[in-house]
Amino acid sequence: MIQFLFKGIIRDKNRSVLPILVISLGVFLTVLGSAWFKGVFSDMINTNANFTAGHVRVMTRAYAENVDQTPNDLALVEVDQLINDLDNQFPDFEWVKRTHFGGLLDVPNEEGETRAQGMAIGQGIDFFSPGTHEPERMNIPSSIVEGKLPGQPGEALISDDFAKRFKVNIGDPITLFGSTMYGGMAFTNFTVCGTVRFGMRALDRGAILIDISDAQIALDMADAAGEVLGFQKSGNYDEERALQVKDAFNAQYAADSDEFAPVMQRLNDQAFLGYYLDLAKYMSSIVIFIFVLAMSIVLWNTGLLGGLRRYNEFGMRLAMGEEKRHIYGSLITESIIIGTIGSVVGTIFGLAAGYYLQQHGIDMGSAMQGGGMMLPTVFKARIGPEAFYIGFIPGLISMVLGNALAGIAIYRRQTAVLTKELSV
């Protein structure tokens, strides 16, 4: 029976080609849309994690209570030993030192006297260690407007807007005025090796990026850092694994009442990011649901119209003595075959397009300029397990339901008036 119906579908192009094309297109858009929205929200989360919070973050308890002020006088000490311990305990994470600081950038003239000054937000990250992923993690190489990454101690990157506003060129000296870990004044000279633009207003107005070793020297933070960030080596944030690591680490210091004892937080636990994560998760689900629902309605109508167009065919088959139940069953079976073929084809093409966007993404840097929120400049899709089956919801189920509803007309036909209907 199924083989007979399959041959009929293949041979009758009017009955198969258009429905399969419509279903394939709808499933393609559903799969690609699902992967795209999932990737966009994941990229937004990862951008905030990469720039500020990590997947998990270790600080002193006192620092955690005042984290918005980035109080380096409450920073972690003996940080190298702490990172070694973390590497041994949780090898599936990459642990890095970060130090945030604020200060005044002084631009001298040819005589060495102050020509211009401006406020700056600074970060000390690992530029020099072999195999470091910090520049790529923060998207620094692709954000460089002029110059290069710091390659030796004493070199710094500054924001391109700051450089243009105060006419600072590559190779010019600048002086950072700030505060040391112990409350003293810090005066450190750097050479500008490059300028960057991230497309985020908070960073682009005035930023300075230096190696973590230079930050330790400038701020008198020997073997110290404001925080230690942990990133899952898989590249994606796993809430459950982060919770396990957090609980295991914090349990080691549960009996220590020292305010300088380290404490670990997940991405979810940090200020607005927990709310942001929940919002991103719900918004992603809602958007995908609406998209799938819209495609389901379109393909449901396709199945409904396809069944109604065959009204005379059903009448002819009834007139020849075929049972209503058999006609209805063959209609549903045909819709299952057509829906399966279209869903498989659409899913294959949707996964292929999603994989391409997952690898290359779409550069929307020009549209992101001037924003205040940390957003990625290149949005990528992300193929999850649901991408392999989500297209079958509109492609197969909706098609079958549409034909099932259209097939109700079969049972309403009266065999006594078939001759009159077919002669019209």
Instruction: Say whether pLDDT at 371 is over 50.
Output: no
Instruction: Say whether pLDDT at 386 is over 50.
Output: yes
Structure token pair of residue 37:
């929205």
Per-residue model confidence (pLDDT) at position 408: 72
Per-residue model confidence (pLDDT) at position 278: 67
Instruction: Say whether pLDDT at 165 is over 70.
Output: yes
Confidence bin at 370 (pLDDT 50/70/90): very low
Higher pLDDT, residue 410 or 207: 207
Work out the average pLDDT over 352-373.
70
Residue 78, helix vs strand vs coil: coil
Work out the average pLDDT over 118-145.
90
Per-residue model confidence (pLDDT) at position 68: 80
Whole-number Å distance between alpha carbons of 143 and 374: 14
Contacts of 60 (CB under 8 A, 6+ apart): 74, 75, 76, 259, 260, 261, 262, 263
The model's pLDDT over 5-29, given as tens digits with 9 standing for 90+, comes to 555 555 555 566 777 788 888 889 8
Instruction: Say whether pLDDT at 415 is over 70.
Output: no
Work out the average pLDDT over 413-417.
60
Beta strands in 318-400 (DSSP E): 362-363, 378-379
Domain boundaries, the chain: 2-47+276-423, 56-236
Tell me the average pLDDT of the chain.
Answer: 81
Pairing assessment for the beta strands 262-266 and 362-363 based on DSSP bridges? unpaired
Decide if 237 contacts 45 (C-beta within 8 A). Answer: yes
Per-residue model confidence (pLDDT) at position 52: 80
Work out the average pLDDT over 177-202.
86
pLDDT over 90, % of the chain: 33
Decide if 183 contacts 73 (C-beta within 8 A). Answer: yes
Per-residue model confidence (pLDDT) at position 113: 85
The model's pLDDT over 250-295, given as tens digits with 9 standing for 90+, comes to 999 988 888 899 999 998 777 666 666 666 667 667 766 776 777 7
As a dihedral over the C-alpha atoms of residue 79, residue 83, residue 85, residue 87, rounded to 10 degrees, the angle is: 180
Q: DSSP code of 223?
A: T
Structure token pair of residue 282:
């719900």
Instruction: Say whether pLDDT at 47 is over 80.
Output: no
Per-residue model confidence (pLDDT) at position 12: 57
Q: At what angle do helices 13-48 and 272-308 cross, to 10 degrees?
A: 180
Per-residue model confidence (pLDDT) at position 373: 45
Instruction: Say whether pLDDT at 192 is over 60.
Output: yes
For residue 420, what are the CA distances in angstroms to 119, 155, 308, 412, 414? Answer: 89, 92, 19, 15, 11
Confidence bin at 372 (pLDDT 50/70/90): very low
Decide if 374 contacts 48 (C-beta within 8 A). Answer: yes
Higher pLDDT, residue 55 or 47: 55
Per-residue model confidence (pLDDT) at position 227: 93
- Measured in whole angstroms, how far is the alpha carbon of residue 47 from the centre of its chain? 8
Per-residue model confidence (pLDDT) at position 307: 59
Higher pLDDT, residue 397 or 81: 81
Confidence bin at 379 (pLDDT 50/70/90): confident
Work out the average pLDDT over 239-251.
92
Per-residue model confidence (pLDDT) at position 309: 63
Higher pLDDT, residue 325 or 300: 325
Per-residue model confidence (pLDDT) at position 168: 92
